[in-house]
A and B are shown apart, each in its own frame.
Chain A
Amino acid sequence: GNSVTQMEGPVTLSEEAFLTINCTYTATGYPSLFWYVQYPGEGLQLLLKATKADDKGSNKGFEATYRKETTSFHLEKGSVQVSDSAVYFCALKVEGEKLTFGTGTRLTIIP
C-alpha cells in the first residue's frame, strides 16, 4: 500500500535558522506529493505540491523537490520566522486512490 514517513517532532528552532523536515514515501503507483500546514487552531491548508519527478514546489519561502530515486520530498526553508510555527504534514496521492498523510511534524520557532 501507500505510506508516508516523516521526521518525528517536535522540532524547535531559533528565528532565522535553516529548516529541513524529512519526508519519504512508498507508493503503489506514480504519486503526486504534497505538504500541508496546520497553524494553531486551524484546519490544514495546502502549502506546496509537486506532481512529477524533479519538480520543485514552492510557497511562502518553503521548497520541496520530488526525488523519485530516493522516494523523498523534504521540506526546506532558508530562514524561518515565528509565524512558521505550525504542524506540517507530508502527503501523497496516487490517481484513483485516497490522499495518504504522514503523522505530522510540530515546528516551534523561538524568537
Chain B
Amino acid sequence: DVKVTQSSRYLVKRTGEKVFLECVQDMDHENMFWYRQDPGLGLRLIYFSYDVKMKEKGDIPEGYSVSREKKERFSLILESASTNQTSMYLCASRTYEGAGGETQYFGPGTRLLVL
C-alpha cells in the first residue's frame, strides 16, 4: 500500500513564527503536492513538485515556500505564520497513469492553528 505520512496531525503556532510541515511518501513517486482545505472552498493547491529540487507555484503560493531535497520528502514552510493560514494542510503524491488520468495519494492532514 502507498503510504503518505505527515509529521504532525495538529499544530498550534503563534503569529510570526516560522512553521515547517513535513511530508514523506514511500512509493518512489516523482510528483508531490501541498494543498490547504477550508470549509466551503474545497482543496486549493499551494505548491507542487515534479521532481527533486523542482517546484511550481499552485493557485495560492503567497506566504508559503517549499523544499524538495530528497525524492520521498516534500516540505511546506510558512515563513511568518499569520492567522489566515489557520487551516488543514494536505500532502499528496502521485503516480501518473498515462494520458487517461492520475491517482493522487493523500496523507492524513495537519490541522494548523495560528494564534
Contact = CB atoms under 8 A, between A and B. Distances in A.
A35 interface: no
Interface residues of A, number: 20
A103 interface: yes
A104 B109 contact: no
Contact of B41 (A32, A93, A103): A103
Interface residues of B, number: 21
Interface string A73-111: 000000000000000010001010011011110000000
Interface in A47-88: 49, 51-52
Nearest to A104: B42
Contact of A51 (B40, B42, B101): B101
B99 A95 contact: yes
A88 B63 CA distance: 29
B11 interface: no
Contacts of B54: none
Contact of B42 (A46, A93, A101): A101
A105 B109 CA distance: 18
Given A43-B4, A44-B90, A98 B103 contact: no
Interface centre among B40, B92, B101, B105 (most CB of A within 10 A): B101
Contacts of A51: 100-101
A102 B41 CA distance: 8
Interface of B: 4, 40-43, 45, 48, 58, 90, 92, 99-109
8 contacts: A32-B102, A44-B104, A44-B106, A46-B103, A89-B42, A98-B45, A98-B48, A103-B40
Interface of A: 32, 34, 41-46, 49, 51-52, 89, 93, 95, 98-99, 101-104
Given A42-B109, A43-B106, A51-B101, 14 more contacts: A32-B101, A41-B108, A43-B4, A43-B92, A43-B107, A44-B43, A46-B103, A51-B100, A52-B100, A89-B42, A93-B102, A95-B99, A99-B102, A104-B42
